[in-house]
Copies of this chain bind each other. A is one copy, B any other.
């Protein structure tokens, strides 16, 4: 198993992994993007994300998808959007290896932090992340405006 940066050739595998993660997160119908969007958004002149593949003899065993964010307290940071290992490949440290690789990338780019979101019922993931040195930002919640509400808000500009 080795970890490498994804290329355009990995787009079908990335989409498979995105769907598998959504199903694990109990939102199997949430994925509204496809290969064309991944191509446009990740592999064009100004990519919106980067992706690492855990490659097991040509098979995509897992992935980590991340992008730069910014903290007005600490400066450049990395947000890990997705981290997932296919169930058939678990128990071999692939998740940890992917997380560590993103951490190394973050450090190399001068980031003081990396962060990600987790579902509060996903105790195995939370325990795993804590074991990797992460802390939960207890009092923080995420708010979102989307769809018709976003359009309504934008009209008030």
Contacts and interface: CB of A to CB of B under 8 A. Distances in A.
A1 interface: no
A145 B72 contact: no
Interface string A136-152: 11111111111101111
A156 B101 CA distance: 8
Main secondary structure of the interface of A (DSSP, over half): mixed
Interface stretch (A5-13, A53-61, A116-124): A116-124
For chain A, the bracket of interface size reads: 35 or more
A65 interface: yes
A46 to B, nearest CB: 9
Nearest to A38: B72
A71 B81 contact: yes
Contacts of A99: 153
B144 A115 contact: yes
B146 A137 contact: no
Interface centre among A81, A137, A144 (most CB of B within 10 A): A144
A146 B157 CA distance: 37
Contacts of A69: 48, 67, 69, 79, 81
Contacts of A101: 157
A49 interface: yes
Given A96-B156, A100-B155, 8 more contacts: A32-B74, A32-B75, A71-B81, A99-B153, A113-B150, A115-B143, A115-B145, A119-B140
